[in-house]
C-alpha cells in the first residue's frame, strides 16, 4: 500500500485518524492504508504501479482482446474460468467453493496481498470489473481495477513482457469465504421488484434494452421497471472514468441515492459486474445479478416477464 493511495482516500477516512496520521507509527499508518484500500474498488494507474512494485498480484482479464504485449508479471485470466460452464447459467459463479479456491490460488491470489485486475475499457465488456466483483464476493477485500486499464498502466510506465508464457504464478493462499453483499439471484430479484428503495439498472446497449437478443438470450427486452444506462456512459472517450461528480449526477438523474439499493444486470453479469464495482467505489449500495438476461430469459414467461420498447 502507498502513502499516495492513502491520501487519495482521505475523504473516506475518519478525521481523528487523519489528524494523528503524521505522528502514527509505521504499523498504524499501514493499518490505515490497508483499510483505505478495502473501501476502494478502483485505483489510478500510478497507484497501481506502486502497488505492483510492492508485490501486488496482477490479473490480466482482457481475454481474447490481448493483442498488445502482456504486462510483465501479469497472470492471464478469463472470467469464464470461474463461471458455470453450461447455458443458461454461464453468467453465474461456480457453486463449488473448494474448486474456486483451487482456481484462484493457481493464479496467485493470496488473502493479504492486493489484487489488481486489468481490462481494456475501450474494447472490452468490463471484464476487469467482473473479476473485482467476483473476488470481493468471494471474500477478497483488496481487489481493485485500474482506471483506464491496460493502456493507462503502460502510459504510467508499467513494463510489458514479450510473451505471457514467461509468467509462472506462485500459488496463493486465498480461501473463498462468500458474502452476499454485492450479489443477488433471480428469485431474490423477483421478490424485490417494485420495492420503493430498489432501483434495477440495465447496463446493456440501448438496442438490447429495447428487445434485441444478440448474445443468445432466449427472450428479448428488459426486466420490468428496469432503468437504462449503458455502462460505458460512465467512461470518457479515452476509456477513463468520468469525474466523480459527473458520474454521481448521471446516477442521480436515474433516482439513485446513497440510500438506494441498486441491482445491476446485463447479459451474463460482466458489464453489470463492472458497473457494480464502480458504484461500490463511489459509495453506493450495489448488487450484481450475475445470471442476468441469460438466466432471467430462460425462466417461465409468467414468472419472469420482460418488457420491450419501440
Question: pLDDT in tens for each of the 310 residues of the chain?
Answer: 443 454 444 344 333 333 444 434 434 434 445 556 778 999 999 999 999 999 999 999 998 665 678 898 899 999 999 999 999 999 999 999 999 999 999 999 999 999 999 999 989 999 999 999 999 999 999 999 999 999 999 999 999 986 655 557 899 999 999 999 999 999 999 999 999 999 999 999 999 999 999 999 999 999 999 999 999 999 999 999 999 999 999 999 999 999 999 999 999 999 999 999 999 999 999 999 999 999 999 999 999 999 998 7
Which of these three, 131, 166, 201, is where a domain ends? 166
Domain-embedded: residue 302: no
In a domain, 198, yes or no: yes
Is 149 found in the same domain as 48?
yes
The answer to whether residues 48 and 162 belong to one domain is yes
pTM of the prediction?
Answer: 0.89
Distance CA 271, CA 203 (A): 7
Among all chains, which residue has been given the C-alpha cell 434485441? Answer: 212
Answer whether residue 1 is part of any domain. no
Query: Residue 269 class from Cβ within 10 Å (0-12 exposed, 13-18 middle, 19+ buried)?
Result: buried
Domains: count for the chain: 2
Q: 174, exposed or middle or buried, with CB in 10 Å at 0-12, 13-18, 19+?
A: buried
Q: Are residues 135 and 221 in the same domain?
A: no
* Domain at 70, CATH number: 3.40.250.10
Q: Are residues 134 and 210 in the same domain?
A: no
Judgement on whether residues 193 and 149 belong to the same structural domain of the protein: no
Q: Is residue 277 part of a domain?
A: yes
Torsion angles phi and psi, residue 59, rounded to 5: -110, 115
Q: Do residues 229 and 263 both lie within one domain?
A: yes
Residue 221 lies in a domain: yes
7 within a domain of the structure (yes/no): no
161, 228: one domain? no
Domain for residue 29, yes or no? no
| Any domain includes 258 | yes
- Domain span holding position 235: 186-296
Amino acid at each position: 500500500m502507498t502513502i499516495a493511495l492513502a491520501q487519495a482516500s482521505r475523504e473516506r477516512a475518519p478525521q481523528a485518524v487523519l489528524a494523528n496520521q503524521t505522528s502514527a507509527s509505521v504499523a498504524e499508518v499501514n493499518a490505515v492504508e490497508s483499510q483505505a484500500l478495502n473501501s476502494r474498488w478502483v485505483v489510478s494507474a500510478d497507484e497501481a504501479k506502486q502497488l505492483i512494485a510492492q508485490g501486488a498480484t496482477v490479473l490480466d482479464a482482457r481475454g481474447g482482446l490481448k493483442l498488445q504485449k502482456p504486462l510483465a508479471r501479469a497472470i492471464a485470466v478469463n472470467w469464464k474460468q470461474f463461471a458455470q460452464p453450461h447455458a443458461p447459467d454461464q453468467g453465474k459463479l461456480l457453486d463449488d467453493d473448494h474448486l474456486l479456491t483451487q482456481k484462484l490460488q493457481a493464479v496467485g491470489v493470496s488473502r493479504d496481498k492486493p489484487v489488481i485486475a486489468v481490462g481494456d475499457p475501450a474494447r472490452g465488456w468490463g471484464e476487469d470489473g467482473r473479476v473485482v466483483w467476483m473476488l470481493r464476493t468471494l471474500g477478497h477485500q483488496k481487489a481493485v481495477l485500474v482506471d483506464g486499464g491496460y493502456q493507462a498502466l503502460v502510459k504510467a510506465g508499467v513494463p510489458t513482457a514479450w510473451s505471457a508464457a514467461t509468467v509462472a504464478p506462485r500459488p496463493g493462499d486465498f480461501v473463498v469465504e462468500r458474502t452476499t453483499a454485492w450479489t443477488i439471484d433471480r428469485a431474490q430479484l423477483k421478490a424485490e421488484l417494485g420495492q420503493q428503495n430498489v432501483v434495477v439498472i440495465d447496463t446493456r446497449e440501448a438496442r438490447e434494452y429495447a428487445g434485441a437478443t444478440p448474445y443468445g438470450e432466449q427472450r428479448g427486452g428488459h426486466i420490468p421497471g428496469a432503468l437504462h444506462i449503458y455502462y460505458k456512459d460512465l467512461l470518457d472517450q479515452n476509456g477513463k472514468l468520468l469525474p466523480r461528480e459527473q458520474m454521481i449526477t448521471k446516477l442521480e438523474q436515474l433516482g439513485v441515492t446513497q440510500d438506494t439499493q441498486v441491482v445491476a444486470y446485463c447479459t451474463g453479469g460482466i458489464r453489470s459486474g463492472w458497473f457494480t464495482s464502480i458504484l461500490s467505489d463511489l459509495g453506493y449500495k450495489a448488487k450484481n445479478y450475475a445470471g442476468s438476461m441469460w438466466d432471467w430469459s430462460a425462466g417461465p414467461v409468467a414468472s419472469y416477464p420482460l418488457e420491450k420498447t419501440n
